[in-house]
Structure 1
């Protein structure tokens, strides 16, 4: 009698999706099964996909239909797979048993316990190795003289997946050597593990994803006897197969490849580089027209790490070279490559870059782009924990779950780690007093970690103390040492004070902010990046890319340039070139005017001379009329009246000039008596003394704090019961050292205080002398003197002009009087006399013209001198203004380049495609969307976009699941490109609350994919479905009122 069996496994029914697709496929399976007329149908596990999660009414309905249809064809024998229940939590019910119990179909047999069971065909037995009952494996014995078929769901060494990845396996093929056949499940690829083809996986019944080959189905066994059998594979029709098409940049080529597959297939376009959005849209249109695809997705296969470089015209710039001024000079040259900048401006820019970069690097010695590894954590009396808690991370790898009820102490484990490393926790700013178990008097944590191949140990202890006033506080100690490979201390790295030791520790592993941004997604903070405002996201990204140095340089430059900006505001707003040009044009006009006046003056003099000659050669030149006498008298009176006015003006000018001279003389005497050089020297001494006093006060505070620390440390010796018996004890050895140093430190502190007091007394006496006020007063006197000298110069010029005019007028009056006397003696009334009189009148008018032209000529000469002086002063002011303006323009260029919209934006924009590609790579095959970071040029905002291919929306409009998955992918992508110190550990604390049953499985796949970047992934959750994704479990138990964990 023979044995005919249909062998299927790994069906993976979903909670809600793909039901119609499965119905179509299994209708084809049922048709083939009825034609084959099997004795039995064997189902080898993994019937459902999401374990006990997502058990929807629709899933129950389709399973009811499926099991009933199987049983109608032939007796159906079922074992469970790891996807059918919670192997790590076996007290929970599996997903299949309740359904089969409810069906109560006599033709369906479920084997959850390991053991030997009849097949229903005489001489053939099932030997079931249940993954839910590994304890029962040892009791399984094959029945003699009968055919025993081993049923096993799990990995066997030597088996391979669809991508030919070799499985490490739970058992070897030899495990089944006692049995005639082995019907296997769990591995989705059809394969035989022995030469005789007795041990076989049928593969998944239906293609599950793009990672599996097409042509899935089942095995049909026709076993006549022990040595006479055949097994044949039958494919099951699949309405929507998963098809991967390799992109080579040619749309027509892709279309031709797609034609070889059924309509309504799922198409995945696989590319090595990002495909443009235009080509993606065109692909969608063409494929939908030609093949009516069920879905179209894209996969980008890139290297596992992103190159931390930015391409510039000066070569590739590494993002961890921002501590080098030469890098910033290259970036500045690249940024302003399209701008014409003078060599002198570049020199100023380079000086600013060197100045600020060197200053910031000197003040910040934190490490960049360093990886470190956590080895072991021990702690006691932290939060709810008691003594002897150990987690040996060397013995953990992959995904490790920390599970338990609320308030069981799950989140206290990363809290203990942060306390040990950073003297803080992930719970915000809390005192160390609150970290200590409220029922204990102290807490302690010790952590071993590896940096650059060197092993270190940080040990921290906090002890409660109560003051006389009854106030309770905690005193914390820190020990840091380097270890050898055996874990023995070989170098003490402690500083004189704890803060110095903390600084050394920071230089090894970075800050707590670095740790929270990279390795620890603390409780409630998984979505912190997406919850931030759009501007704040860019600030966080700046830190990941080490671009915060630009922000620091921006702050320094703005602060220093503010004084120049103030000076520029105080300078009158004028067009210096235009003003100087106008003055020079006026000067040219005045010089031309002077030349014209010279010509007119010479012409007038020549005319006067000609008239004088005519008069001199006249026959009756001495003849005078009465009218000449009257005119002469009138002229003399006019000249005398005019002369009186000149004399009054001269008198006033002399009074004013004498007053100016007296003021200038007083200022001169004051300057001679004013010890300005001595005052400046004393003020400089005062300034130096003020700086010295600050240094002395700082030194005193430092020594006082050290003394305070030593006194607190020594005080511990009064509280410990052992007294001075154990001076080498590592927890009180520093106290013994401080006890020896205390007396000397008190003397040092008192000396420092005496120096401060003495300096204050000297400084107080110097300030009483008011050197600064006196120097300011002297400067005011100099300004006043300059103004008086300028006024005196103007007065001198005006007085000289008036005196010259008065002298000439006096001389003219005297001449006119003398002439009048002669004229009276020569009075005549004949016609010749009248002619001579007219001639004399012309001569007088000509003489007046000459005098007027001479006055104008002198006035123009004075104007020329004043204009020359004004032009000289304007040019000096312009030079000073130009220097200030050049400095301000240099600062403006620098500030613009290092601002958020400058070089940092260029670098972020250049890195975003790489970051987005990394996010896509992380999410690929996990969810149906990808996430993109977007920055618009000239905008300080950063948007996060959920991209489904055919639609997009910003993260603010996304669901809780989308935000959680996006946050995790963004965090990992930023860690991969970050220059921050980072460890090979990722901790996720309660980040799964936003996921429903359908999406927890997707998240589990995402966590599994992250193993390539992290040695250890710690998952803290009370969601049962997450437990199925873990490789290890850290169990928290209760010991009395305290929690306890031990994994070593």
Structure 2
């Protein structure tokens, strides 16, 4: 028997879902090891993309293939996502990985052909990359298994859609015993015998797929006997779709936590309800992400009718309300929201129409026109339109002023022309200085007259002379002879527009100029819608849309800020926190009460114990402590007494030594010694002084002798007065006279010094100093002995006082010891009570600390409760504000949707198209054979032309004649349905330039 694990369509992406893939692969490997297959076959689409691949893809794909090959030999074929079928020269996404792995247990079968892993078993690959080489089994006796990736006719997708036209028919497997298929993500079999089957995708890929993913396990005994079953692998983050109830609430349905959730609405729901449902889903099911699909927006059950589109006055608030209610019918709204939308409509309708310049549903006709000097015309020109009937042509050569007649009418009525020239001076004939136009127009029963006069004048600008024109305007009612002029010319022009409409209205309804007769045909879809909207008087809706959008901008900003948070989820979280805190407060309060109860009981016990102790007459004596204290004090007393004796002996020794030293000191005549020392110091000083004088005298003698010696060596005549008066000679003679005196003085000083030396020798200074030093030393020793003796005396006295105190304490302790012995039993009972009291006091202290801690934690819990309450209140207020704003915004948003060009205006246009097409057909019926009609597809407004026996084609592809005729027909059809002011006059300026016949 062969056991084959059949996998396919794993779709490993470049970056997305890799964490989930690894978790699923882990479960897949575990499941495969559990069933221990002989072979693992992967039928294509390992990769999700085939052209741009990331390093992360290669990493995960190589891990996937390697892990599978460890479980069993792996056979891999390619799928359409693995390679580029349209470019065979491009490498596929799997081959490089398998080549790099170089794993003998992995076999890639890229090309078509047979592969026999062992005798009796053959895999026949029908490769989508190699269709030309498909072959039938070559060994019929083997178990032949086809491997194929593609869609087979009759297969079914996860959405329930059955393919009526697949890539191939199931008959391609006719010669095989079994067929293992890939490509379709829904597990299924294509035959009743369950021989041909898709394993489905390994992993759920998106919301369009069901949760039943994994692999097929085939147990093939022989060609005619087999078992096969699908083994599911749980997705850690599955894609789950939930359909909301009609009212937008969540259904009762199991949704796995952490899933990717999609909410589907069966009908149109306002964005506020969708957002609320999203928030509730986050709180209820805790999904990983939430998306929603508003299926009601995909289509509408409203039947498009055209019965009232032309008869309804779209400016009537009641008609607008009807359209608003019809448009909002599918939204399943509360009535107050609808009423608010209608209130918005009334308000903005007033704002949009309060400055309205143009009347509606007005038909006017020109009776007569007169003009002078306009364009290339001279004076006294006039046309009486009352005399004209049917189709009137204006014929003339080029430059003859045919179009100028039309522009004269436009100027007289609207102060403008079809050429778009803004300066009125160019309207005046160049050869004239003034011009005039007067026109009579009939509106209902009124005849209105408009007169315009132009006068040229010079104007100097920076020294340059230019010409300008001043316009005078007069507007009055001929029937009542009443002036309709305003205070300014602009106001008068506004009064004219109120009666006759604007120039643009005239161009739309009453004129096709030679330059833009095909403008509507040439425009794109959007511009056509705008023009059609103007014909149908839908501009009012656009005005209201823009006004509402401007007013709603600030609200939208606030709403966007508030919608950035998941209020319901935060409120629920804070409620849960509040409940937890309340539970903790309750538990903590109970605990504090219990502790307080225990504490009160212990205090009562302590009070009773204190009363019991105080009632006992006997002093509390701790005999052990008393005994120990006596022993300690006795030892201390002995030591102190011994210290006293020792210190007394030492004191006596010090005193005796001081006496002996005093006797020795008395034998030294210190005063005499100090006098001798002082005298010796005086003699030494005198000696130093005399020696200094002696040295000075000797120095003088030496200097004088040098002068005498120099005289002896100097030749001179003693008898010569000049020689003897010489300063040198005189100095020498003076020296000779002084030397004897100085020598005598030196000898005297020498004798004095010798006498001093003899005196100093008699009194030995060093001996004197030694005796004085000895005296000082003995004095210090005496002082030290006296100090030490005094300190010892203080110590003895101090110890004596301590001994007295100890003796007093010993007496008290001995008394207590005696009392204890006398009252031993009573005291022991008291000791027991005191022990109990100490234990109770310790217990009370600990319990008080425990109670304080408990109260502190309780206080923190109360603070946290208050904080969470404040946060919750803030969140709830913000949520209510959001809900209120969302309700207001819902009304604004729905109103803007109604007024948007793709809202009610678009519905009106769609409803109008059959009528417009019918009017076009009426115009063309007796003129041409072809048809022209509007077609609305995918919100695009197209115009088609259809000839008999041919399919419709865009009018833009038609000939010039076809476009011209179609443009006229479209214009006439639109005029027939519009409520814009329009004339009985319809002007065509050179309309037939594209018509040959």
TM-score normalized by the length of structure 1: 0.42
Larger of the two Rg values belongs to structure: 2
Greater relative CO, 1 or 2 (CA 8 Å, sep 6+):
1
